[in-house]
Amino acid sequence: MDTISNFFWHLMVFYICYMLAISNRGQVMPASPIRRLVPYAESAKKKGIKVYHLNIGQPDIETPAPMLDAVRHSEFKILEYSHSAGIESYRRKLVNYYGKAGIEIDYSQILITTGGSEAILFAMMSCLDPGDEVIIPEPFYANYRGFAITAGINVVPVTSYIRESFALPPISALEERITDRTKAILICNPNNPTGYLYSREELETLKTIVKKHGLYLFADEAYREFAYTGTHFSAMLLKDSDDHVVLMDTISKRYSACGARIGALVTRNKEVLETALKFGQARLSPPTFGQIAGEAALDLPDDYFQSTKAEYLLRKNTLVERLNKMPGVFCPDPGGAFYAMAELPIDDSDKFCQWLLESFSHEQQTVMMAPATGFYATEGLGKKEVRLAYVLNVDAIHKAMDCLEKALEVYQEQM
């Protein structure tokens, strides 16, 4: 690199860092509400206490054997970089996968990412500049805020409510938050942490808003297959909105393959895709073994999800029924994903969830949940709410609920 080029390169880096510093002023990377209690859980286990983990969306369903076998039987002497957009054969097979959901795309409109996390980050950095805003219904997946801070953008929450089952807020509430810095609306459908399944009508409402105000609609559809009370409607099916919709996806939950770290950014917007690819080129390539596993998953029989979905439905019904039978507890029936939000008769969910691990046990057992405060951007919300991931078998869920029911009795006596 010659002297002049070197100078302008460092000037560009300085400018980017400066803009990020300005936009992030006052913003602190939040701790994970899901993982920050881990030390307390580890301490409880050292005391011989059994901890039921309902705090994190780590499925206990076995990863399909063909995926693992494809990795084991890979035959190459050099583990090379893949294409920055992902292995072409994998992307071509994904076209068929999305086609079964009615989504018509070309393989060139798919960018393979390092997990769904990178797809979300690439979408934010491709469509927004430092200081821009993204509107997200809260409570929302806690890492959205971390990704936004990384990208130098601001999250603007619009509150949904547990007593309304966390339905999409009215169009007026969304439009009230739109400013000249607003560039996108982000939804997770079905939703993490609430389990709410957005309807086609709600997606059409979002389409009206983004087209009216010239915004992007980011759709995180990591839990597409996990729909119980209705049919999942993808944002990619919205008519006349190709330039607005960016889909973020992952194999993590779908195939119980969280550690594969393979996701996808899908859009028909050529400019967004070209920009995202530049970020993809900067990180070189997504994980090769993960892509091999992901491609093998696409050869699973069409009925693969039937038994998995039936198992999660049983777990959901068990959890929700047990919760709503407890005095003072309210839990709306989630329409999808594998999460439920519950309102408890407590004063502080952060304090309560820590107390469960630090000071409580029932028959040498306790339960770990995620305080809902970490899923809200509005200060003070979620103090009486927790998120529970029904990723354990029904017997374990019953035992966890036994612990929670007893814990609430003891905790209320101490309040």
Q: pLDDT tens for residues 134-152?
A: 999 999 999 999 999 999 9
CATH number at residue 396: 3.90.1150.10
Q: Quick check: bond before 190 cis, omega within 30?
A: yes
- One-letter amino acid of 196: Y
- Domain shared by 201 and 348, yes or no: no
Q: From 268, 297, 326, give the residue that closes a domain.
A: 297
- Domain shared by 58 and 73, yes or no: no
- Domain shared by 89 and 164, yes or no: yes
Distances (CA, A) of 30 to 125, 138, 142, 218: 19, 16, 8, 22
Q: Which segments in the chain show pLDDT lower than 50?
A: 1-15, 17-18, 20-23, 25
- Domain shared by 210 and 156, yes or no: yes
- Domain shared by 133 and 25, yes or no: no
| Burial grade of 209 (CB within 10 A; 0-12, 13-18, 19 or more) | middle
Token pair for 349 = 């969910």
Q: From 297, 321, 337, give the residue that closes a domain.
A: 297
Single pTM value for the model: 0.91
- Domain shared by 278 and 312, yes or no: no
What pLDDT sits at residue 33?
66
- Domain shared by 173 and 189, yes or no: yes
DSSP letter (8 states) at residue 224: T
Q: From 297, 314, 332, give the residue that closes a domain.
A: 297
What pLDDT sits at residue 22?
47
CATH number at residue 223: 3.40.640.10
Q: pLDDT tens for residues 178-235?
A: 999 999 999 999 999 999 999 999 999 999 999 999 999 999 999 999 999 989 999 9
Q: How far apart are CA 148 and CA 170, in angstroms?
A: 24
Tell me how many domains the chain contains. 2
What pLDDT sits at residue 34?
67
Q: pLDDT tens for residues 331-373?
A: 999 999 999 999 999 999 999 999 999 999 999 999 999 999 9
Count CB neighbours of 278 within 10 A: 12
- Domain shared by 261 and 354, yes or no: no
Question: What's the domain range around 404?
Answer: 21-62+304-414
As a whole-number percent, the residues of the chain with pLDDT over 70 amount to 93
What pLDDT sits at residue 36?
82
What pLDDT sits at residue 397?
98
Asked whether residue 358 is assigned to any structural domain, the reply reads yes
Asked whether residue 15 is assigned to any structural domain, the reply reads no
CB neighbours of 393 closer than 8 A, spacing ≥ 6? 60, 315
- Domain shared by 308 and 397, yes or no: yes
Asked whether residue 9 is assigned to any structural domain, the reply reads no
Q: Which of 146, 150, 113, 122 is nearest to 16 (CA)?
A: 150
Q: In DSSP terms, which residues pair with 155 in a beta bridge? A: 134
What pLDDT sits at residue 14?
43
Residue 179, SS3? coil
Token pair for 372 = 């809902």
Count CB neighbours of 26 within 10 A: 5
CB neighbours of 257 closer than 8 A, spacing ≥ 6? 63, 67, 251, 290, 293, 294, 297
Q: What is the DSSP string of 85-151?
A: T--HHHHHHHHHHHHHTT----GGGEEEESHHHHHHHHHHHHH--TT-EEEEEES--THHHHHHHHH
- Domain shared by 291 and 308, yes or no: no
